[in-house]
Amino acid sequence: MQTSSPATGRVYLVGAGPGDPELLTLRAVRLLEKADVVVYDNLVSPGVLDFVPATAKRIYAGKRRNEHTLRQEQINALLVKLALQGKQVVRLKGGDPFIFGRGGEEMQTLAGSGVDFEVVPGVTAASGVSSYAGIPLTHRDYAQCCMFVTGHLKDGSADLDWPSLVRLNQTVVIYMGLNGLPEICQQLMAHGALPSLPIAVVQDGSMKSQKVVTGTLADMAQKVAQAGLKSPCLTIIGEVVKLHDELDWFKGNA
């Protein structure tokens, strides 16, 4: 989109991937290296920020659960302000900016303000975390379909389309599902999923601290509580989870 004069800056909405900096795109690295300002969320790993030159300004925008350092409107306004000052701004988000990243909302503000922008996709958690956990999201024997859903439950109660989540031969990937995990497992079983359906919860996927806990819908809430898993965690539900034992290739701390 070319809407502004050459004198104005540009905002690059860049996906930082799930953690391992090796998963950054070439485009992301090149943009980071020439950025004037980098506005980043808490999910962006320290190794990714190593690509930001010392001369660039870093602004932490927060976004931890219940702790929004900058409110979304403030972030939107900040991006517009920096671009109008002529800066090359990298708006860095974990994973892919257009998957549960509110990237669309930020770009709408920029478009509405006539600011020039570009979107650089990143490896989304579903893809990166499942790869590093050795869990293929589709497999001819187990799943012909894969759904990405948010487990961030509104007002503590679930408003997901449960019947669609319990269909056979599919994999369900749940972002932001750690706190709601007990209710999610309960609801899936109440809507007809077998209590023995395999499920994995992966903490810090693709990072040295990666932890994978596997179980079934029936025992997972207890296992995750016992393991003391902390955010960020990705939940993968479906028969494909069985492949983890065989395909577990990533030795984070090795």
What's the rounded Cα separation, in Å, for the pair 130 and 124? 10
Catalytic position from the list 63, 87, 93, 211: 63
To the query of whether residue 154 is one of the catalytic residues in this protein, the response is no
Binding mask 71-90 for ligand SAH (x = CB under 6 A): --------------------
Q: Is 129 in the site for ligand SAH (CB under 6 A)?
A: yes
User: For ligand SAH, which is the closer residue by CB, 68 or 81?
Assistant: 68
User: Which of 99, 135, 137, 146 is close enough to bind ligand SAH by CB under 6 A?
Assistant: 99
Nearest to 147 by CA among 123, 119, 168: 168
Q: Is 94 in the site for ligand SAH (CB under 6 A)?
A: yes
Instruction: Tell me the backbone φ, ψ of residue 214, rounded to 5 degrees.
Output: -115, 155
Q: Is 180 in the site for ligand SAH (CB under 6 A)?
A: no
Q: Is 119 in the site for ligand SAH (CB under 6 A)?
A: no
Contact 79, 14 (CB under 8 A): no
Q: Given the rule CB under 6 A, which of 24-32, 97-105, 111-119, 217-225 is the region that contacts ligand SAH?
A: 97-105
Nearest to 152 by CA among 238, 67, 65, 92: 65
To the query of whether residue 41 is one of the catalytic residues in this protein, the response is yes
Contact 98, 104 (CB under 8 A): yes
Give the count of beta carbons closer than 10 Å to the beta carbon of residue 213.
Answer: 16
User: For ligand SAH, which is the closer residue by CB, 83 or 200?
Assistant: 200
Considering only residues 46 to 65 of the shown chain, the ones binding ligand SAH according to CB under 6 A are none
User: Which of 9, 180, 198, 205 is close enough to bind ligand SAH by CB under 6 A?
Assistant: 205
Give me the least distance between CB of 132 and ligand SAH, in Å please: 8
Give me the least distance between CB of 20 and ligand SAH, in Å please: 8
User: Which of 109, 124, 131, 216 is close enough to bind ligand SAH by CB under 6 A?
Assistant: 124
What's the rounded Cα separation, in Å, for the pair 59 and 78? 10
User: Which of 175, 185, 215, 216 is close enough to bind ligand SAH by CB under 6 A?
Assistant: 175
Q: Is 198 in the site for ligand SAH (CB under 6 A)?
A: no
Contact 117, 1 (CB under 8 A): yes
* Residue located via tokens 């024997």: 141
Helix axis angle, 72-84 to 103-112, nearest 10°: 50
In 52-136 the beta strands, taken as DSSP E runs, fall at: 57-62, 88-93, 116-120
Give me the least distance between CB of 220 and ligand SAH, in Å please: 15
Helix axis angle, 181-190 to 220-227, nearest 10°: 170
Q: How far is CA 116 from CA 67, 84, 86, 182, in A?
A: 29, 10, 11, 44
Q: Is 100 in the site for ligand SAH (CB under 6 A)?
A: yes
**Residues marked as catalytic:** 41, 63
Binding site for ligand SAH (CB under 6 A): 18-19, 43, 93-96, 99-101, 124-125, 129, 175-176, 202, 204-206, 231-234
